[in-house]
Amino acid sequence: MKIYPVILSGGAGTRLWPLSRAVLPKQLLPIVADKTMLQDTALRVAGLPGLMAPLVVCGNDHRFMVAEQLRAAGITPLGILLEPVGRNTAPAVAAAAHYLKAIDPEAVMLVLPADHVIDNQQAFREAVVRAASLVQGGGLATFGIVPKAPETGYGYILRGAPLALSDGCYKVERFVEKPDLATAERFVADGGYYWNSGMFMFSAGQYLSELATFAPEIAAAAEQAVGSGYRDLDFCRLDETAFSSCPSDSIDYAVMEHTANAVVVPADIGWSDVGSWSALWEVQQHDENGNARRGDVYLDGVKNSLVRAESRIVAVVGLEDVVVVETNDAVLVAHKSQVQRVKQVVDHLKSKERTEHLHHTKVYRPWGHYEGIDAGDRFQVKRITVKPGEKLSLQMHHHRAEHWVVVSGTARVTCGEKVSLLSENESTYIPIGMNHRLENPGKLPLHIIEVQSGSYLGEDDIVRFEDIYKRS
């Protein structure tokens, strides 16, 4: 049996704002440890017996960051499928199933969200082995987390009859929506309920068969999206029209709640979906006062709190049970019991057409990154870093001129018909409406300061004529 990990790397992680944002969501951040959550997920399945290289499903906007993070972790994926729009887990997994079936008709899928914490690697491996035996018998397996507390933020799975020769696995009696506290307490006391982890294992063929029975519109749209998909650099793009027409639904609702073959593998693996700042506090190491801290942090008389500083010193005095998160352009202060309301902050930013929910001041691009330094009326200043051998698109702006100063490295600058090399402390000027390109021909990163001036300075004022990354 060949088992193919399918890593789902979608979602915006709005409840971890201001750290997690649409352009750089929590799965692409080092939230818990030094590696990103995507990297941790990929490394967790690397080298396990019978497991193949992972297939990653992500949104188009995150494709280069996903590819770069996998490369940095030493992981060569089987493929990276690009969703043109988010349609929840059932269509994403269906697309992955069609992709795998074309490679291996007997493919078994281990479906894993990219943004979960699993502390007990050995217990996770053992759970995967048990699930594999159930899949061989025709089961669609879900991993039920042994509950530690009456959590109201998770769905639950009620186990049914035990399975013969299954080493403590069960039929699924039913799936239960997120309960209130009294109901959650009853579930934990009962002993027959598990947290719904959102992790699954089943054969690609059986999942598609069940999907065709219970959600035929999703099945048909996913099949067409893969069949009409196409290669783009190292990515596989799902057909935009077909996938966009697909109904949005989860695996639970589309298949698992209806199939007669759902089975649950109890798993005590140190799992968390890190769905809030309070959940992150729970899985992090604490000091003698119960505090989880990261960055340049000063605490005095603080207990049972999470304090995280990204760009400057953060001092907290005389507080308990709080969350304080600082980034370059935003600060969150909340009581731990109220962190679910962070989503309302994000909704407010959206309604006011602000950008702090979309991206950080540092914005990553396939060629490197840029960071806003200053801005005012008709100007803004950026620090730009271009990786060795990379280059920006050949482009033009209708409303702004640009001044470039090389801080370190070597820049090859195209301005109209002229191509020149600039070294440290040299500068150039790009007039409004002039075709231009910035390249790094050297072996070291190129750092420049860019001063933009003009009537409109938005990132959408870019007309690309040529781009090695095939962006529009």
- 155 and 9 in one domain? yes
- 289 and 257 in one domain? no
Report d(CA 3, CA 286) in Å as an integer.
37
Show the domain range for 440.
362-466
Q: What is the CATH number of the domain that holds 85?
A: 3.90.550.10
Domain final residue, candidates 248, 272, 296: 272
Residue 47's pLDDT is 82
- 190 and 110 in one domain? yes
- 150 and 93 in one domain? yes
Alpha carbon of residue 16 to chain centroid: 12
Q: Is 352 a domain residue?
A: no
Name residue 176's beta-bridge partners. 156
Q: Is 472 a domain residue?
A: no
Per-residue pLDDT reduced to its tens digit, 174-190: 999 999 999 999 999 99
Residue 203's pLDDT is 97
Most confident of 31-35, 79-83, 458-462: 79-83
- 301 and 252 in one domain? no
- 321 and 460 in one domain? no
The number of domains in the chain is 3
Q: Is 265 a domain residue?
A: yes
Domain final residue, candidates 272, 288, 317: 272
Residue 247's pLDDT is 95
Q: Which residue has the tokens 């899985």?
A: 283
Report d(CA 145, CA 332) in Å as an integer.
30
Q: What is the CATH number of the domain that holds 407?
A: 2.60.120.10
Long-range contacts of 134-137 (CB under 8 A, 24+ apart): 134/163, 134/166, 134/169, 134/201, 134/263, 134/265, 135/1, 135/108, 135/201, 135/202, 135/203, 136/1
Per-residue pLDDT reduced to its tens digit, 209-268: 999 999 999 999 999 999 999 998 889 999 999 999 999 999 999 999 999 999 999 999
Query: Nearest CA to 87 among 95, 99, 79, 77?
Result: 95
Residue 331's pLDDT is 98
- 163 and 247 in one domain? yes
Q: Is 355 a domain residue?
A: no
* Per-residue confidence band for 405, with pLDDT thresholds at 50, 70 and 90: very high
